[in-house]
Chains A and B, each alone.
Chain A
Amino acid sequence: MKPPFQRLIDDHSAAVKRFLTASVGPTEAEDCFQETFIAALRAYPGLKRTDNLRGWLLTIARNKAIDHFRVTKRVSVGAVPELPHHDPPAIDPALIQAVASLPEKQRSAVALRYVTDLPFKDVADIMGCSPEAARRSVHEGIKKLREVWGS
């Protein structure tokens, strides 16, 4: 039985939005989010495996983030002050910039591992690589982040 699509929204939309916010910055994340879920809706009836729907959605989200970078080649943190007042303004622009400075594989791996809190095995599934390769990407990404962000 395929879960009703609304359940995917209820269960996974926050995680997808977090991943995208880390990947492309808060300004562009909403657009990528919309693209991700519209693409998912289109593909859902034909989807064969439903055992890891969060992974499936994040795979689409990662592709949307890659598309986004191909077009803009940068992240924008400019719109943070435009958020509604009740949202905690806890997105550190310097951190977003630092993550954006990473190569795509490291950026996605770090975001999946820490921002969406997935184990290496799931990170690897989403990125289509081995768990070892995922671990390496995360490790290298974090190392670089310490250099850039910590200074």
Chain B
Amino acid sequence: MNMKKTIEEELRNMNAPAPDITALLDRAMTEDLVDVAYATVDSPVGQLLAASTPKGLVTLAYTEGRIEDVLERLSERVSPRIMEAPERIDTVRRQLDQYFEGVRKDFDLDIDWSLSSGFARKILRATARIPYGKLLTYRDVARKAGNEWASRAAGNALGSNSIPIIVPCHRVIRTGGGLGGYTGGLSKKEFLLDLEGALEV
């Protein structure tokens, strides 16, 4: 047997230092080449994925362990130039932590509304103005958006909310007091309303 390794083996086993991804991210940011920056955020209602464009927060998603699905949707609907950039998400993370600790009642964040349009966007903007701990019905929100007979459309718009918690669609319930639906699961809606003291009679 040949004691000496072949040159092919030597090449195959060649070691290279890991690339400096942090430096790449810094430069990509400086040169405005990152259209969507994202990071995951842990929360009492499960893992969230926060994504920002230069305009503001565009998505806060319940990942349910499927980060790739969320990123693919962003790639399709916003831009494929997506990079993981935890520092760009620091403000969102801090405000969410404060919210879940019960010390923050209002989010102070720029929002990128580009994932919604038309009446749905009006509904979501109206929803964004519902105060902490307050409950509105689908019909209330529809009225605030300019068409009180469009509560079904309002429900659909809220179901497509890409920035839950921060655009507080959990504060919208059925006429008559039923909780209605919630994309992340009803237990999350209950948790958030309980946190805000909205379920106490």
Interface residues of A (CB under 8 A from B): 1-7, 9, 13-14, 16-18, 20-22, 26, 29-30, 33-34, 37-38, 41-42, 44-45, 83-84, 87-92, 95, 99, 110-111, 114-115, 117, 142, 145-146, 149-150
Query: Quick one: which of A5, A14, A90, A150 contacts B13, CB cutoff 8 A?
Result: A90
- Which residue of chain B is the closest to A138 with respect to CB atoms? B8
> CB-CB contacts of B1-44 with A at 8 A, as 1s and 0s?
00000011011111111111101100110010110101000000
- Chain A residues in 8 Å Cβ range of B18: 14, 17, 87
- Chain A residues in 8 Å Cβ range of B74: 4
Asked whether A44 lies within 8 Å of B23 as measured between CB atoms, the reply is no
Number of A-B contacts (CB under 8 A): 115
Asked whether B7 lies within 8 Å of A34 as measured between CB atoms, the reply is no
Closest beta carbon of chain B to A93's beta carbon, Å: 12
Most buried by A among B28, B34, B81: B81
Interface residue? B75 (CB, 8 A): yes
Binding site secondary structure of chain A: helix
- Chain B residues in 8 Å Cβ range of A83: 17
Interface residues of B (CB under 8 A from A): 7-8, 10-21, 23-24, 27-28, 31, 33-34, 36, 38, 68, 71-72, 74-76, 79-84
Asked whether B76 lies within 8 Å of A1 as measured between CB atoms, the reply is yes
Query: Quick one: which of B10, B19, B33, B75 contacts A38, CB cutoff 8 A?
Result: B33
- Chain A residues in 8 Å Cβ range of B80: 2-5, 44-45
Closest beta carbon of chain A to B35's beta carbon, Å: 8
Query: Quick one: which of B7, B17, B31, B84 contacts A6, CB cutoff 8 A?
Result: B84
- Chain B residues in 8 Å Cβ range of A37: 24, 28
Q: A34-B20, A38-B24, A87-B17 are in contact. List 10 more A-B contacts (CB 8 A).
A: A2-B80, A17-B18, A18-B14, A30-B17, A30-B19, A34-B23, A38-B28, A45-B80, A95-B11, A149-B7
List 13 contacting pairs A-B, 8 Å CB cutoff, sorted by A: A1-B75, A1-B76, A5-B82, A7-B71, A17-B17, A29-B17, A38-B24, A41-B34, A84-B17, A87-B15, A92-B14, A95-B11, A110-B11
